[in-house]
Amino acid sequence: MHDSSHTETPYTALGFYHKISQLRADTWNALKRDLGQLSKLDAADQRARNLIKAIDVKLTRLEIIEDYHAFPSKEDFRHLWSLFDREEYLLLERVVKRLVRALISESYRRRHVDLSETDADAEDLETLDALNQLRRGHPASNSSAQPYFELLIVDNLSAQEEEVVREAFHNLRRPEDRFVYDVVTVRSFEDALIAVLVNPNIQACLIRYEFPYKSKYNLSALRNYLEGLSEQELENQSEAERSILLSSMIHELRPEIDQFLVTSGDVEATASRDIRYFNRIFYRETDYIEQHHTILRAIDNRYQTPFFDALREYSRKPTGVFHAMPISRGKSVTRSHWAGHMIDFYGINIFLAETSATSGGLDSLLQPYGPIKKAQEYAARAFGARQSFFVTNGTSTANKIVVQALIKPRDIVLIDRDCHKSHHYGMVLAGAHVSYLDSYPLDDYSMYGAVPLREIKKTLLAYKRAGELDKVKMLLLTNCTFDGVVYNVRRVMEECLAIKPDLVFLWDEAWFAFAGFNPTYRPRTAMHTARTLRDRYRSEAYHEEYAAWKAEFDRLDPDDDATWLDRRLLPDHDLVRIRTYATHSTHKTLTSLRQGSMIHVWDQDFRQKVEAPFHEAYMTHTSTSPNYQIVASLDVGRMQAEMEGFELVHAQVEAALTLREQLYTHPLLQKYFRVLKNADMVPAAYRESGVESYYDPVTGWNQMEEAWARDEFVVDPSRVTIAIGATGVDGDAFKNEYLMNKYGIQINKTSRNTVLFMTNIGTSRGAIAYLLDVLIKLAKEFEYRWEESSRPERKIIEHRVHSLTRELPPLPDFSRFHDAFRQCSETPQGDIRCAYFLAYDEENTEYLRFDNGALQAQMSAGRDVVSASFVIPYPPGFPVLVPGQVISEGILHFLQALDVTEIHGYRPELGLLVFTEAALVDPAAA
């Protein structure tokens, strides 16, 4: 066997683990191809000698990767090396072919694959598995098979001891077990961390006895996760201390993994330590039976789907329906002469599961007590919340529920202006006084970024100085934005809490539900940050840090804005309250039927202050006839996220990185389609790391972690924004006429000169290949168009390109609320509810057109022209005007420059709806 110790691992060169699964699959296929070519060459041929060297390199690379997987096992790899060293290349080719087929068909999940077998029967089994996979479409669709996972064992074992332990667990398998698992063994602290990062099959971890810190491999890619850890200190730690630290780090990387400790020390003393991440401690267990059953029970706890199971069970019961819903049990369609094709399309199960019952094993969404209650508790566990609630009519409703539960009339809410329109309508319904915050503009791409922390702090300080900080109740921000800009959630919360310790945060994470299942993304999620800050502020280390910071801060002038704006602020641990809410469109980025959403809560004051109004708000906006199929899909989606979310999100990111890499490097694609990098979407002032692009042709993607750890804003790489101005086609036309109509590719978000491609947990490598093929075809089409154009036609194309790349109107900031809707001249908030309902009386409004100069004439005469409605152009898809807002020249110029046809709140034949001057004299009287 070749020595691969102290070598740079493959994933290091690729930018940590981001593309490890693609590297693994591609290297096995390349090895199979090389062996096939070698079999056709004479041994004396130089090409054969070159291939043998290449095979050696690939086997070495794969051995490093497979060290962290159960299949192929270490014994399997010894067999491969034995064949290679004996120069039995034909037999090695046959074994590798079988191995690749087993990996592709995932037959190793269903039965033991013995690579030492070389008979035809063994190969026929692999071929049959591959054919079955083609019939099923995907191995995961075989729901009758026992779900498979891998158990990670951390112990400094010899190769012989590893096989003994592995065999011991294998012998405990029983046909009646609900799950089947295999064993991965690693020998060091570092190897354990790499294993959980590169092997998504690992669902449980057994930490045993003494193990060293250092891996035999050069794991420089772990630097971001091991920062602050001293190798010498770790080597000097006791067995228990090192095991507990490893457990906490595994939990930080993959909190879903069930962990168990086997200790030879004082088990009672160990149990008294901070062992919160261990499910159970075993003391010198040599009998593996108890460990086996404990592990299976822990996996089963995450695998449960309480409401989905209850609904399936209910659908099997014979029931008589003497209530609503003729379609229940399919009765109204099974006996129909005309509607039978509905059953042909949907199948019978959906009708058997359609019911209005809340008993008989089912539950009430409005007042859950049974399986829905349990399903929501499991969701809270999965997403790191204190409480979670299912919503069956989308995140638009989830947003309104949270706002109504927390905001009373005249409470002040700080909100980003370019947030989803449901928030603006939520402000109207709650009677909030709204203070809009401006995101930084990206004028070159007709889109906004996010709200800088400095802007938020300035606004809070203005309220503090005006004596109105007590009225500020909530900060509402979108994380991440539609275009993929992600906040540094911890920094925003920490510094805002330093100014107002009880501020409530509502993070609209409609597009970010998946982020909790990836260790790079997770620290920038609301629920993770809330838990982290709660633990941080309770620690003695923070108390000391705060005391030192406060002593320095108190020497500065509190009336000088620079004191607050030019330095990092820390909140008082004795005053701070963590009050955080997040709304998720589960259906957008995880598995759920349309409109399936969740509300997640981490609020230290929820029980005392919010629970009752929250449930009233929930009942206000939730149907008394919720769709049980949506509820069941949320339950299954949560289970899937806990069991394989890490793997699926990893594949989602891999797909996006592949797309980006090709677009960065393909000459023809570069000519017409430019992928926006980190530097394009996040100005340098907000990139402390200095990272301009996650990707570098030499180093791969290894800068991503640094940016995500330090910068105020980062870009989600799974949202690939492409500037298409060089094509001369605007975003809306490109979306509809080129992508959808010609090639059946669906996207949603466009700007005037960009289109957004999003990968998700359902995106395959084949889908990425198809998209790239389409983009290449389109690039060639644009190339041919230019080559074949006449001189006048080329001038038209050049004019379009110039318009889309140079003549871009500056994006307008929020102007101000008219004084009629403001209660304080020193602060910017406005009564949007008053303005909204003032427009209900037709006498208070009039229409003014800006295409004929009527509106401009009124503004030139000195009149404050005030919008009486929401005006929402698509794109960008958020209000550029809200009720009560003064129309500025910048906003008017932007509206005039828009070349989109869809503008909600604007009637071209009439103009903009505005308030009459008389209505603004005394809106309360009007």
Residues 906-922 have pLDDT tens digits of 999 999 999 999 999 98
* Cβ neighbourhood burial of 239 (10 Å; 0-12, 13-18, 19+): middle
Distance from chain centroid for Cα 478: 13
Contact in structure between 151 and 185 (CB atoms under 8 Å):
no
- 209 in the Ramachandran plot: left (φ > 0), alpha (ψ -120 to 50) or beta? left
Percentage of residues in the chain having pLDDT higher than 70: 92
Confidence at residue 210, expressed as pLDDT on a 0 to 100 scale: 82
Residue 499 makes CB contacts below 8 A (sequence gap 6+) with 457, 460, 461, 464, 469, 564, 569
Does the pLDDT value for residue 7 go beyond 50?
no
Does the pLDDT value for residue 536 go beyond 90?
yes
Residues 258-305 have pLDDT tens digits of 999 998 766 555 555 678 899 999 987 667 899 999 999 999 999 999
Residues 444-488 have pLDDT tens digits of 999 999 999 999 999 999 999 999 999 999 999 999 999 999 999
* Cβ neighbourhood burial of 104 (10 Å; 0-12, 13-18, 19+): middle
Residues 174-201 have pLDDT tens digits of 999 999 999 999 999 999 999 999 999 9
Confidence at residue 685, expressed as pLDDT on a 0 to 100 scale: 97
Average pLDDT over residues 579-604: 98
**Domain(s) of CATH 3.90.100.10: residues in the chain:** 819-915
Q: How close are the terminal C-alpha atoms of the chain, in Å?
A: 88
CATH code, 146-303: 3.40.50.2300
Does the pLDDT value for residue 121 go beyond 60?
no
Instruction: Tell which residue, 837, 856, 830, 838, has the closest CA to residue 912.
Output: 856
- The architecture (CATH level 2) of 819-915 comes to Alpha-Beta Complex (3.90)
Apex CA 163: angle with CA 158 and CA 165, to 5°? 95
Mean pLDDT of the chain: 91
Does the pLDDT value for residue 887 go beyond 70?
yes
> Can you identify the CATH homologous superfamily of domain 642-805?
Aspartate Aminotransferase, domain 1 (3.90.1150.10)
Q: pLDDT band for position 207 (50/70/90)?
A: very high
CB atoms < 10 A from the CB of 749, how many? Answer: 22
Average pLDDT over residues 119-144: 54
Confidence at residue 139, expressed as pLDDT on a 0 to 100 scale: 47
Contact in structure between 678 and 715 (CB atoms under 8 Å):
yes
**Domain(s) of CATH 3.40.50.2300: residues in the chain:** 146-303
Confidence at residue 641, expressed as pLDDT on a 0 to 100 scale: 98
Contact in structure between 797 and 789 (CB atoms under 8 Å):
yes
pTM: 0.93
State the Cα–Cα distance between residues 72 and 103, nearest whole angstrom.
9
Does the pLDDT value for residue 77 go beyond 90?
yes
Cα dist from 415 to 28, 419, 435, 512, whole Å: 51, 8, 6, 18
3-state helix, strand, coil in the chain (%, to 5): 50, 15, 35
Residues 45-68 have pLDDT tens digits of 899 999 999 999 999 999 999 999
CATH code, 371-520+561-638: 3.40.640.10
**Domain(s) of CATH 3.40.640.10: residues in the chain:** 371-520+561-638
Apex CA 484: angle with CA 479 and CA 490, to 5°? 35
Q: pLDDT band for position 229 (50/70/90)?
A: low
Residues 84-103 have pLDDT tens digits of 999 999 999 999 999 999 99
Average pLDDT over residues 673-684: 96
Instruction: Tell which residue, 693, 704, 754, has the closest CA to residue 725.
Output: 754
Contact in structure between 701 and 19 (CB atoms under 8 Å):
yes
Instruction: Tell which residue, 620, 672, 899, has the closest CA to residue 801.
Output: 672
**Domain(s) of CATH 3.90.1150.10: residues in the chain:** 642-805
Q: pLDDT band for position 876 (50/70/90)?
A: confident
Q: Which residues of 546-584 are buried (b: 16+ CB within 10 A; e: fewer)?
A: beebeeebeeeeeeeeeebeeeebbbebeebbbbbbbbb
Average pLDDT over residues 346-356: 88
